Structure 1
Amino acid sequence: MNAPPDIDPVIEPSASEVLHWLTNDARDERFIDNIFAELCVRLQRAGIPVKRATLHVVVNHPQWLGAKITWENGMRAAVIERVDYDVRERSQYIDSPAYEIHGGATEVRENLERDSSDGRKHAVYDEMRAKGLTDYVAWPLYHTLGKRHIVTFATDRPGGFEDAHIAGLLKLLPVLALVSEIRIKNRLARTLLETYVGSHAGELILAGATRRGSGTTVRAAIMICDLRDFTAISDNWPRDDVIDLLNSYFDAMSEPIARHGGEILKFVGDGLLAIFPLSQQSACANLLRAVSEARQAMAALNEKNSESGRAPLNYGTGVHVGDVMYGNIGSRTRLDFTVIGPAVNMASRLETLTKQLGRPVLVSRAFADVVEGEFDLERMGEYPVRGFNEPVELFAYHG
C-alpha cells in the first residue's frame, strides 16, 4: 500500500509509536509537565525535529489563571511558569500567537528563516530566531465544554518542519488533548480541595476519605481567631470595602500559619480555625511563631488602614492542645472535613475570654506546659470556662 501523499513513510510509523505510548503507556504518570517533556523526547527519537515546545493551560487557581509549560532541546524536565490573571491585559499577550489562537485561529505558523519584516511582528518570533529556530507552529488543544488550551512546536531544521512532521504532530493532538484534560482536571480537583478544605484534608479526600463519619483522632495544637466588632463594620462599611478588609485580615493571619506548618480548616464569617498536628516537630512552638508573625502583619495592616482613615482592627485568639476528631461530618449529601471535640471547644472558649481579659492571645495551661521555657507567657490565673467543670489556668502571649 502506498503512503498517503506528502507523508514520509519512514516518519509515519514512528509517529504512530509515539501515539501508542501516549495512549497506553503514559497513564501512570500523574503530571502533565512530565508527560509533555517525555513526549518531546520521543518525538525527536521518531524523527520529528522538535527543538522547543510549549503547552499553555488554564487551571483557574485562586492566585493564577494558568501555567505555561516549556520544553527545550536537552532538557530532562519541562519548566512550569505560573500565569497571572491579568496576563490578557498585557502587551506581550496581545502581541502573541496565543492571542490569535484564543481569538479563534485554528493554526498559527511562522517561517522563522525569512526576514522578520516579511512576517508577523510578534516579539516571540525574534526571540526564537535568536536561538536559531527556523519554523514555529501553534494549535489549539480542545477540551470539553469548549475550553481551549494551546500547544506549540518549533524546530531548527533548515527549511523548517516537513509536511510529514506536521502531519505526525497533528495526529497526536486529539490524544494529547485527552491526556492533558485528565491531568488538568486532576490538578484542578486538587487545587479546589486545597483551596476550600486545606492541603492535608484535600489529600485525604482524594485518597477516598469521603464517607460520612470517617476520620481519625489527631493530637494537635488548635487555634481559633476572631475579628472584633465585625458586625458594626459590616453594617456601616460599603460591601466591597468589607470584603477587601476581610481578605486583608485573613492574608495577615493565614500566611504565617501556612508558613509554619499549620492547616486552616475553615473560615467562619470573620473567624478561622487552624490546627498544628503534634506529629510535626515543634508544632506548638510553630503555632506561637505563626501568631507572632500574624501580629506583626496585622500591625502593618492597621498602619496602612489608618492612612486611609479606617479604624484599627482588633482580634482575639484562643489556643489549646489536645485530641480532636478529624474527619467527615455533616448531612448525607453535604459534608464538612473538620475537627471536633472538647479541645476545639476549649480553644473557642479561650478566644471568647480574650474580650473579657483584654488580652489578644490566650493559651491554656496544657498548651503552656508544652512550650514552657521557650516563650514568655503572662499568667492570668484560673477562670471558669463555659462547658467545662473545672476552672482553667490561662496565660497571655504577647508575641
Structure 2
Amino acid sequence: MDSSRLQDIRDWLVDGARSAATPSEMMAECCARLVDLGIPLWRVGVFVRTLHPDIAGRSFIWRQGAEVEMGTVAFGFESSPVYRDSPLARVFEQGAEFRADPRAPESERFPILMDLRAEGVTDYLTLPLTFIDRAVHASSWTTKSPAGFTDAHLNAIRSLMPALARYTEIITLRRTASMLLDTYVGNSAGERILGGQIRRGHTDAMDAAIWLSDLRGFTPLSDRLPAEDVVEILNHYFDCQVEPIREQGGEVLKFMGDGLLAVFPFRRRGGDPTEVCARVLAAARASRARVDALEYASGGAGERFRFGVALHVGRLLYGNIGGGNRLDFTCIGPAVNLAARLEKIAAKLNRTVVASEAFAGACPESMTDLWTDLGEFPIAGLSTEQRVFGLRDEGN
C-alpha cells in the first residue's frame, strides 16, 4: 500500500475535495482513487442523518462501473424492521465498527447481507463517521475479492474516516443551513441570505404578482377547538396552497396566523407579467379546489374550510427589515398593502378569489372571460376607489 498516495487522498478530502463539485462527484473520485491504490472496492455507501422537515436521512451509494446513486429516508424508517435488522443500526446506535462475511451462516440474520451475498460480495465493513458534535453517521465498504479485505485494506479505509467525516460534516452543515433557510424564509430569500444579504435595510426592488390569502372564520374556530386540533387544521389548509404555489413558480414568504403571503417574481424587471399571472391564477384555482374538498370535525359533525385569496401585481421592496439583531426577510410596499385590502374585500363579498384591475388586465386574453367586474371600492389610504374583479364561476 503506497502510504504517500493514501495521504494524498486524506489531504484532498480535508481540503474540501476541490476537484469534485458535488458530494456525488467526491464519492466517485474518492472510490476511483482508492481502487487505483489497490483496494478492491465493489460498493461504498455514506449515510447521513439530516435536519429536514420531511427527510430523516440521505444516502450516497457508489458501485464499481456505475453512477453514484443518491437516496433519501423518510421519518419512521428507524423504527422499521429493515433498519432494526441492519448492521447500520448498530453503527448509528453504538458508534462502533461492524464487519461481516456475507457468505457466513451467521450473516443470514441481516437481510442486507443476504442481498450483498447474491451480488457476490465477500466482505462487508461499516464504520462510523463522527461529527464534531459527536453525532454519529455511517459509511459502508464492500468487496468481491475472494479473500475479502486484507489488513492493509482495512487499515487504509479506517485511516480515511476522520478526513471523510470532516468533508461530510461541512457539506451536511451547508445543506442544512440552506434547507432551513428555504423552509423558514423561502428559496430566493435563503439564497440571498447565504449570499451575504443580511444587513438591515438591504433591500431590492422586485416586480411580481402578489398572493395574500386568509382562512375565514379562524378566530371562532380557534376559540372552540383544542390548540392541537387548530394546528393540524392550519397545516392541512396550508398544504392546499403551498404545493400549487410552488408548482407554479411562486415562493411562500411567510405564514401570518391563518394568513399566507406569496410572490411570483417576474423573470426580469419590467418584464411581461402575462405568463406569470396565468400561473398564479392556475395556482389559485387549484388551491380553491383542494380547500373545497377538505373537512374538519367539529362537535361531531364535519365542517368545511372557507378561505379567500387576493391577487395583485406591482413593484415591491424585498429584503431585511427589523430592529436590533432580529431581522425578517420580507416584502413591503403599496402593492402589498393593496393586496391586503383586497383580501378584506373578498371576505366582505364572500368571494374566494378576487383580483385587482392590474392583475386581471395582465392575464392572457384567453382568460379575460374568466373575470367579472365586481365594481369599485374605497381602499384605506388611497384617494381613489379601486376596481375589483372576481372569478365568474363563483357567481354574481
**TM-score, scaled relative to structure 1:** 0.93
- The share of aligned pairs that are identical, in percent, is 37
Which residue in 2 is equivalent to 1:106?
A: 96
2:55 pairs with 1:64: yes
Shift of residue 372, structure 1, vs aligned partner: 4.8
Q: Cα gap change, 1:380/1:193 in structure 2, threshold over 3 Å: closer, same or farther?
A: same
Which residue in 2 is equivalent to 1:311?
A: 303
Structure 1 residues 148-167: aligned runs within 5 Å? 148-167=136-155
Which residue in 2 is equivalent to 1:292?
A: 285
Which residue in 1 is equivalent to 2:387?
A: 393
- Count residues in correspondence: 386
2:9 pairs with 1:18: yes
Which residue in 1 is equivalent to 2:74?
A: 84
Shift of residue 213, structure 1, vs aligned partner: 0.8
Question: What per-residue deviation string (whole Å, max 9, x for no partner) do you get for residues 145-164 of structure 1?
Answer: 22010011000011100100
Counterpart residue type for residue 179 of structure 1: Y
2:41 pairs with 1:50: yes
Q: Distance in 2 between matches of 1:212 and 1:29?
A: 36
Q: Distance in 2 between matches of 1:285 and 1:390?
A: 27
2:320 pairs with 1:332: no
Deviates more, 1:199-208 or 1:37-46: 37-46
Counterpart residue type for residue 54 of structure 2: Q
Which residue in 1 is equivalent to 2:133?
A: 145
Counterpart residue type for residue 279 of structure 2: N
Question: What per-residue deviation string (whole Å, max 9, x for no partner) do you get for residues 246-290 of structure 1?
Answer: 000000011100000000000000000000112177111110000
Q: Distance in 2 between matches of 1:306 and 1:372?
A: 42
Counterpart residue type for residue 180 of structure 1: T
Q: Say whether the 8 Å CA contact 1:265–1:274 is kept in structure 2.
A: yes
Q: Say whether the 8 Å CA contact 1:252–1:297 is kept in structure 2.
A: yes
Shift of residue 102, structure 1, vs aligned partner: 2.1
Deviates more, 1:306-315 or 1:167-176: 306-315
Q: Cα gap change, 1:398/1:85 in structure 2, threshold over 3 Å: closer, same or farther?
A: farther
Q: Distance in 2 between matches of 1:67 and 1:26?
A: 19
Q: Say whether the 8 Å CA contact 2:107–2:114 is kept in structure 1.
A: no
2:334 pairs with 1:342: yes
Structure 1 residues 205-354: aligned runs within 5 Å? 205-279=193-267, 282-302=275-295, 309-354=301-346
Counterpart residue type for residue 53 of structure 1: V
Q: Distance in 1 between matches of 2:95 and 2:252?
A: 44
Counterpart residue type for residue 82 of structure 1: T
Q: Distance in 2 between matches of 1:144 and 1:23?
A: 14
2:345 pairs with 1:357: no
Counterpart residue type for residue 223 of structure 1: W
Shift of residue 30, structure 1, vs aligned partner: 5.4
Q: Say whether the 8 Å CA contact 2:213–2:261 is kept in structure 1.
A: yes
State the secondary structure of the residue aligned to 2:325. Answer: coil
Q: Distance in 2 between matches of 1:29 and 1:394?
A: 54
Which residue in 2 is equivalent to 1:169?
A: 157
Please list every run of 5 or more consecutive structure 1 residues that lacks an aligned counterpart in the other structure. 1-9
| Match for residue 96 of structure 1 among 75, 78, 86 | 86
Please list every run of 5 or more consecutive structure 2 residues that lacks an aligned counterpart in the other structure. none
Q: Distance in 2 between matches of 1:288 and 1:157?
A: 60
Deviates more, 1:47-56 or 1:342-351: 47-56
Shift of residue 190, structure 1, vs aligned partner: 0.3
Q: Distance in 1 between matches of 2:240 and 2:157?
A: 48
Q: Distance in 2 between matches of 1:246 and 1:368?
A: 29
Q: Distance in 1 between matches of 2:390 and 2:59?
A: 48
Q: Distance in 2 between matches of 1:210 and 1:290?
A: 31
